[in-house]
Structure 1
Amino acid sequence: MTTSPTTAQPYVLVLYYSNHGTTKSLAYAIAQGIEDGGMTARIRTVPAVAAETQVAKPAIPEEGDLYCTMEDLKECSGLALGSPTHFGNMGAPMKYFWDNSVTVWLAGNLQNKPACVFTATGSMHGGQETTLLTMMLPLLHHGMMILGIPYSEPGLNRTNRGGTPYGASHVSGAAHDQPVTADERGLAIAQGRRLAIAAKALVNTKWQ
């Protein structure tokens, strides 16, 4: 996994926003799967949205993963997008990031590249599937190809705290104290591996 500046080596971008660390845990499991699938994983996050939207955030966070730039986004060979559920949708910081991706959309930089989505919720019926589905919408507008998790992954039938065919997920509990289970972690790794295999196959084709 890399958090280094842009290099010429193809990479899959793992872009996430996390409130309590659960979505971040899934992001790192997906990154492991990407690396297992033979691609470099580049992990990035987005800054919180300030109450006063005119207040600028530092370009480099004081701790944790680097903030994603439009350069990171447009140069990726594939994308894993994750956010906790906020009222059945992605969190405002991630939505704000995508609302400012018009230049990438106009240039068609993400067209025909594979992508997947993942999420975490505090409650069992907190909107996991609606969040996953609505996170797909900007990716479809960018012309990306969406990958889910096939039922050939046995963890989909075993897990009772998350995991869907739409993407990796986890129910962390009202106190956000429930760790990601082995099945959920396995599904996230499998999702990352599947994304890497697709990205690697497309890197040298006419579609990229």
Structure 2
Amino acid sequence: MPIKILIVFYSRHGSVAAMAKHIARGAQRIANTDVIVRQLPDASFNSEQTRDAIPEEGYPFCEIEELAECDGLAIGSPSYFGSMAAPVKLFLDQSSPLWMSGQLIDKPACAFASASTMHGGHEMTLHSMMIPLMHHGMVWVGLPYKNRALISTTAGGTPYGVTHLASQTSETDLTDDEKSLCEAQGQRLAELATTLKKT
């Protein structure tokens, strides 16, 4: 039975979506892996406003049931004031029933983020997503320094998870190092999901 890797993200200007594509590519390198990519809708601060059931473009919206069924999770967000964006927080806040039932315990998880400045909160945004997933009992999957691009990069990339330094002119253009690190992150997530599912 194949393992299921869920890649779920919120992307405002396209850079986080571009990262998700390369993380998926890395996960698909591992045999017997199904990769499911989903996006999150904008968060509404008006309780009466409802979102469309199907997005106008891009990937389908993620449902909590898909989170419950995954064997490994990659979750991505732009950095807003050094933290995850509201749609990602809203999605995680809705996962309390999975916490109550322990459905995510011992499953591997990683995060990815994008910010438009070098000190725009890349690592803090990863940490903000890490905390609720650790409360779920998930196993954090970082990026070890065996990935040489983590040392050579002059853009995004951290040992806590992959990041992207968004250009002011073209936010969706990942550097070669960032692409390499995204793919390494996806591959490592799928490898660990395979290992943990066997135990």
2:4 aligned with 1:23: no
C-alpha separation between the residues in 2 aligned to 1:56 and 1:9?
35
SS at match of 1:130: helix
Aligned-partner residue type, residue 147 of structure 1 = V
The equivalent of 2:132 in structure 1 is 138
Matched, 1:163 2:157: yes
Out of 125, 128, 131, the position equivalent to 2:122 is 128
1:91 and 1:176, CA in 2 relative to 1: closer, same or farther beyond 3 A? farther
Could you tell me whether the CA contact under 8 Å between 1:37 and 1:193 is conserved in 2? Answer: yes
Q: Which structure 1 residue ranges, 5 or more long, are not aligned?
A: 1-7
Instruction: Say whether residues 1:87 and 2:81 are aligned partners.
Output: yes
Identity, in percent, stands at 43
Cα distance in 2 for partners of 1:137, 1:112 equals 15
- Root-mean-square deviation (CA), in Å? 1.3
1:170 & 1:77 partners in 2: Cα distance? 25
State the shift of 1:176 in Å: 4.7
Q: Give 2:103's aligned amino acid.
A: N
TM-score, normalised to structure 2, is 0.95
Select between 8-17 and 76-85 the one with higher mean Cα deviation: 8-17
Could you tell me which amino acid in structure 2 is paired with residue 159 of structure 1?
T
Does the C-alpha gap of structure 1 residues 104 and 11 become closer, same or farther in structure 2, counting only changes over 3 Å? same
Q: For residues 103-139 of structure 1, give each alpha carbon's deviation from its aligned partner in whole angstroms, at most 9, with x where no partner exists.
A: 1111111000001111000111000011011110010
**What does residue range 55-134 of structure 1 map to in structure 2 within 5 Å?**
55-134=49-128
Determine the structure 1 residue equivalent to 2:185. Answer: 191
The 10-residue stretch of structure 1 (165-174 or 144-153) with the greater mean CA deviation from structure 2:
165-174
Q: Which residue of 1 aligns with 2:47?
A: 53
Partner residue in 2 for 1:3:
none
Q: Is the 8 Å Cα contact of residues 168 and 184 (structure 1) preserved in structure 2?
A: yes
Residues 128 and 77 (structure 1), Cα distance of their counterparts in 2 relative to 1, 3 Å cut: same
User: Structure 2: which 5+ residue stretches go unaligned?
Assistant: none
Aligned partners of 1:9 and 1:164: how far apart in 2? Answer: 29
CA contact (8 A) 1:15 1:82 kept: yes
Offset of residue 97 of structure 1: 0.7
Find the residue that maps to 1:187 and give its secondary structure: helix
The DSSP-based 3-state class of the residue aligned with 2:162 is strand
* 4+ long deviations beyond 2 Å: 173-178
Q: Give 1:175 deviation, angstroms.
A: 4.6
Cα distance in 2, alignment partners of residues 77 and 140 from structure 1: 15
Deviations 1:128-183 (A, max 9, x none): 01101111001001100001000000000111111010111111134554610001
Q: Which residue of 2 aligns with 1:5?
A: none
